Each structure stands twice: as C-alpha cells, then as structure tokens.
C-alpha cells in the first residue's frame, strides 16, 4: 500500500525508456517537465499500456522499447490495488498483452494530459474560429448526430414510400366496399330463389327417360356456362390488372422523365457539385493561411508594443527606425478588424461546405432512386404487363373455342323445353335469370377477391411503413436529446477541469474561466475588487499567457 495517498507508477522498457523507472504522484497537480528526447512521450505510453484495450494495444508497437522483447507498466494505488500490463514482442510485429488493466475490457477511458507546445485551442481562440466543433469532437455527440441523421433519412424514405402506396390503399378500401355490397346482393338473390316453387322434372316430362336426358344436357350446359363465366371473370380481372400496371408504369415513367429533364447529365452535375466542394475546401484552406499570417503580424505587433512598454525601446531592433507606438496600436486594431472579417468568411465557408455535403448526399440518393429503383420497378411492371396480356389472349381464345359448343347445348335445351306449359316455362325462366344473376355476382366477387389479393400486400406494407415512420421519428428525437446531453456534458467537463486547474495554479486576476452555452470562452476577471465577465480575445497579452498555461494543462482529452 502506498503511503500518504501517493500513487506509484513503474515502467520498464517502454517507448524510449530502457530498463526500470519508478515515479510517484502525490495528491494535487503533478507536472512533468523535461527537454526534448528525455522520455515525456514514453512516460505517457506507459499509461496507454495500462488503459488501452488488448485488441488496440496489440497494434501499438511503439509502446514497447525497440531493442527489448519484453516490457511492463504498473500502477500501485493508495488503497493497495495493483494494475499491471506485461508486453512481449511477437514475430508478426505485434505485441502480446497480459496482466490487469486499470479498467474492464470494452470501457472507454479518458484522461487529461499536457497539451503539445502548439496549443490548438488557443490558436482557434486567437483566430476567432468556432470552438464548438473542436470540443465536441471529444464527445459522443457526433455519433448521436450521425445516428439521428440516419434515422431522419430513413424516416424521409419511408414517408416517400407511403406516398407511393396511398393510391393502392384507397383502391383497396374501395374494393372492400364493393366486395361487401356484392355479398349482400348475392344473399338477396339466394333469398329470392328460395321463394320460387320447386320444379319436378318427371312431372314436366311425364317419363323418367326424358327427365334424365334433360338433366344430363342441362348439367353439361350449366357446367359450360360456369366455365365460360370463370373465363370471362379471368378476362375482366386481367384487363383491370393490365390497366393498373400501365397506370403505375406511366406514373413512374413520368417521374423518371421529369427527373431526367431537370437533370439531363446527372454525373456531370454531381461532379460539378464535388468540384465546388473542393473549391470551397481550398478557399477555407487559404482563409486559414491568411488567418495565420494575420495572427503572426498581430503577435509581432504585440511584441513591439511590449518591448516599448517594458524596456523603453523607441527604435526597431532590426532596422533602427523610430518606433511609433500609437501607429503600432492602430495597426493592432486594424489587424483585429481584419481577423474578424476573415473569421466571418471562414464561418460562412464552413457552413457552405456542410450544406453542399448535404446536397451531394441528397442528390446521390435521388440519382439512385431514379436510375436504379424506378427503372427496376418499370422493368418489373413491363414483365407483369406482358405476362398478363399473354394470359388474357389465352382466356379470350378459350372463350371463342367454347362458344359453338355452348350454342349447341343451348339449342338442345330449348328443344326439350318446347313441350313445357307456359307457367312452367315462366318458373324455369325465373330460376334461370336468378342463376345468371347469382353467377354474375359470384364471378364479380371472385374478381374483387383476386384484385384484393393482387394489391392486398400493399395494406400490410403500408401498415409496416407507418410503424417504421413512427419508430424512426421517435428514435431520431431520442438520439437528438442524447446528443444535446453529450454537448452539455463536454462543456460541463471542460468547465469543471478548468476550474480544478485554475484552483491549483492560483493565478491572480482570474476568478473563473468557463465555456458558455454558445461555446464561447469567457473569463471572470477581478480588478480592484470588482468582478467582470469578459471575452478572452479582448484581454491583454499577459493575461492571455496565463490562460494559455491553464488550457495547456487540461485541454487535450485523450481517448485511449
């Protein structure tokens, strides 16, 4: 167990450090300082070895000393717990890992460590570049936003699919109403038939032989009529299907034609958008270079002013010309104004790049929808139309072939019925008329059922799409809330750590450094007993250096 709350840190053959080295961390702020090449990076590699997941550490060959096959990193905590990682070089150029890390596998560990000499955050502050995206890059917000964008895209796609099914759903509702009406009509006809008097064939013919003959011919006639009715129903159903397929094809073709007329050369248009995107990125790069040059001029001007104020130099140390302090101060004001204008251009340029990224993504999706999805659907509809037309021709041919046979049977039935009295013939005709009507209604019911079966899948698809729309809408809302929480969390962490470092360093005139809700860095400064919140970019160079020292100690959030 470590004494006095200290943490012992032991590394052996890690990075550029040969052999065993032991360090102690005492409660509070521990600063590590050394010239170049003395092992500061290797010092951090040991923490990487202790914190990284095994699968990631195996690829970090730089962690192990180049000329040693084995190494280790160890932490002894004040409570007596011990964490150690054993490393061994393999023939494949990777590292074999053993031991106990400071966390369970699969967890993300984040630590604050000393920043590089070039403080990226301070450069962004001086150049008036937005800090929000830079800081949020250390959070999970970007992943939540990517997921939210994906959900919004799927939500939009589902809505577009639903619009394509609305006509089919309306047609389906109409067919169901017609089916219900047809069933009611059939029930009415069946009831009317049940009220007619029954007919005895033997009574009508007077002998059994003629009755049997009539019954046989009438059965053949009725069977042929039913078959013809079925073929006629198939004809009507196929004609309706062909009409629907052609209507759907025309709609898709009109949408495809409209898109092709609006975008005659999609590839060229998309390439132009990408070229424009490249130009904007080059423009942003040039703006950044201009901002760097302005910053260099500003720092040079500040040095000249400070030399005059602190040392009383009235001449330029390079050329010996007299120094006009007021002119230098005016130059500083002009440079700051130029930086502000340039910063606005950079913000607009970055905004245009993001908008163009979104336009390229949407246009690529629209190209795919028209050139792939709609063309494939048109091709499938062409195949359905061709198949249905061939089946319609077959049904029509069979009907034509059955007509002579049906006419012959009808003539035989009329000859046999010529001996019936007028009252009997009237009853038979009523039976026959009701049978024709019932057969027609049954045929109509079968056609409607067949039509419902053809587009009935649209009903299930529509219900599924409605559920999908609701699901992606809810998920996008939830993920967006999580992104907002991640945004607030990174700002709170930044403010908390900055406050901790400020409390340890106890720098005069600075009461607090914090990030506001717009991710602008603010400083509460004390002067002559008064406190005032000011923006960091209007402070003096001396105060600026103190703030840079604080940020140097905590800004780099490393995800190992």
> What percent of the chain has pLDDT above 70?
78
CA distance 8 to 20: 13
pLDDT number for residue 184: 92
The pLDDT confidence band at residue 10, using thresholds 50, 70 and 90, is very high
Pair of tokens at residue 20: 């065993």
**For residue 151, which of 479, 485, 484 has the smallest C-alpha distance?**
479
Instruction: Give span(s): CATH 1.10.287, the chain.
Output: 268-377
Statement: residue 117 has pLDDT above 50: no
CA distance 424 to 434: 15
First-to-final CA distance of the chain? 27
Token pair 């001086």 is found at: 126
- Quick one: average pLDDT of 518-541? 72
Helices (H), 369-520: 375-417, 422-505
CATH-assigned architecture of domain 268-377: Orthogonal Bundle (1.10)
> What percent of the chain has pLDDT above 90?
1
Average pLDDT value for the chain? 77
Pair of tokens at residue 145: 């936003």
74-83, 297-306, 414-423: least confidently modelled range: 414-423
* CATH code that applies to domain 3-107: 3.40.50.300
pLDDT number for residue 301: 79
Pairing of strands 82-89, 7-14: unpaired
Check: CB of residue 457 under 8 Å from CB of residue 168: no
CA distance 160 to 294: 50
- Quick one: average pLDDT of 458-477? 80
Check: CB of residue 485 under 8 Å from CB of residue 161: no
Long-range contacts of 292-296 (CB under 8 A, 24+ apart): 292/127, 294/127, 294/335, 294/338, 294/339, 294/342, 295/123, 295/126, 295/127, 295/339
**pLDDT 10s digits, 285-339:** 888 888 888 888 887 777 777 666 655 555 554 445 566 777 878 888 888 888 8
- Quick one: average pLDDT of 183-201? 80
**For residue 272, which of 351, 200, 397, 359 has the smallest C-alpha distance?**
359
Residue 547: Cβ-neighbour burial (10 angstroms; 0-12, 13-18, 19+): buried
Mapped onto helix, strand or coil, the DSSP state of residue 83 is: strand
Rg (CA), the chain: 43
CA distance 501 to 525: 16
Residues linked to residue 559 through DSSP beta bridges, in sequence order: 110
Enter the pTM of the model: 0.43
**For residue 172, which of 465, 463, 457, 466 has the smallest C-alpha distance?**
457
**pLDDT 10s digits, 222-262:** 788 778 877 887 888 888 888 888 888 888 888 888 888 88
CA distance 168 to 332: 70
The pLDDT confidence band at residue 496, using thresholds 50, 70 and 90, is confident
Pair of tokens at residue 290: 């201009």
**pLDDT 10s digits, 19-60:** 899 998 887 777 777 766 678 888 888 888 887 777 777 777
pLDDT number for residue 114: 37
Q: Which residues contact 460 (CB under 8 A, 6 or more apart)?
A: none
The pLDDT confidence band at residue 462, using thresholds 50, 70 and 90, is confident
Instruction: Give span(s): CATH 3.40.50.300, the chain.
Output: 3-107
């Amino acid at each position: 167990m470590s004494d006095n709350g200290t943490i012992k840190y032991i590394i052996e053959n890690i990075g550029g450090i040969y052999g065993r080295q032991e360090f102690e961390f005492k409660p509070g702020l521990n600063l590590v300082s050394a010239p170049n090449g003395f092992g500061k990076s290797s010092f951090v590699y040991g923490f990487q070895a202790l914190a990284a997941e095994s699968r990631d550490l195996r690829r970090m060959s730089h962690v192990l000393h180049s000329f040693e096959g084995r190494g280790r990193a160890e932490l002894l905590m004040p409570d007596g717990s011990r964490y150690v990682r054993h490393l061994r070089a393999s023939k494949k150029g990777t590292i074999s890992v053993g031991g106990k890390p400071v966390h369970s596998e699969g967890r993300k560990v984040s630590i604050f460590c000393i920043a590089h000499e070039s403080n990226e955050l301070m450069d962004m502050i001086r150049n008036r570049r937005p800090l929000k995206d830079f800081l949020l890059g250390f959070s999970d917000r970007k992943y939540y936003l990517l997921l939210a964008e994906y959900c919004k895209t799927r939500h939009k796609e589902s809505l577009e699919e639903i619009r394509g099914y609305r006509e089919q759903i309306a047609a389906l509702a109409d067919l169901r109403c017609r089916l219900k009406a047809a069933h009611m009509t059939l029930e009415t006809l069946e009831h009317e038939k049940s009220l007619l008097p029954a007919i005895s064939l033997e009574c009508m013919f007077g002998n059994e032989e003629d009755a049997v003959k009539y019954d046989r011919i009438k059965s053949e006639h009725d069977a042929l009529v039913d078959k013809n009715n079925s073929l006629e129903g198939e004809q009507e159903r196929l004609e309706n299907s062909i009409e629907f397929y052609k209507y759907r094809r025309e709609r898709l073709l009109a949408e495809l034609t409209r898109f092709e007329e609006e975008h005659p050369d999609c590839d060229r248009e998309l390439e132009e958008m990408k070229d424009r995107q490249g130009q904007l990125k080059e423009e942003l790069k040039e703006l950044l270079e201009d901002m760097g040059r302005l910053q260099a001029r500003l720092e040079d001007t500040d040095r000249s002013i400070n030399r005059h104020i602190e040392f009383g130099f009235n001449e330029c140390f390079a050329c010996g010309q007299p120094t006009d302090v007021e002119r230098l101060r005016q130059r500083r004001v002009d440079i700051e104004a130029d930086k502000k204008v340039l910063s606005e251009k950079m913000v607009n340029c970055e905004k245009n790049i993001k908008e163009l990224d979104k336009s390229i993504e949407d246009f690529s999706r629209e190209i795919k929808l028209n050139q792939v999805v709609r063309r494939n659907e048109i091709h499938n509809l062409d195949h359905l139309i061709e198949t249905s037309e061939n089946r319609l021709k077959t049904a029509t041919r069979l009907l034509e072939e059955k007509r002579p046979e049906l006419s012959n049977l009808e003539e035989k039935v009329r000859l046999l019925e010529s001996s019936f009295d007028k009252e009997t013939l009237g009853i038979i005709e009523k039976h026959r008329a009701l049978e024709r009507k019932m057969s027609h209604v049954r045929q109509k019911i079968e056609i409607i059922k067949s039509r419902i079966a053809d587009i009935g899948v649209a009903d299930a698809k529509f219900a599924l799409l409605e559920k999908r729309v609701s699901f992606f809408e809810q998920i996008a809302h939830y993920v967006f809330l999580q992104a907002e929480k991640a945004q607030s969390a990174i700002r709170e962490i930044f403010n908390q750590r900055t406050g901790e470092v400020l409390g340890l360093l106890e720098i005069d005139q600075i009461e607090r450094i914090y990030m506001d809700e717009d991710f602008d860095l603010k400083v509460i400064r004390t002067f002559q007993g008064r406190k005032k919140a000011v923006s960091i970019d209007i402070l003096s160079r001396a105060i600026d250096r103190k703030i840079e020292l604080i940020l140097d100690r905590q800004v780099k959030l490393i995800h190992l």
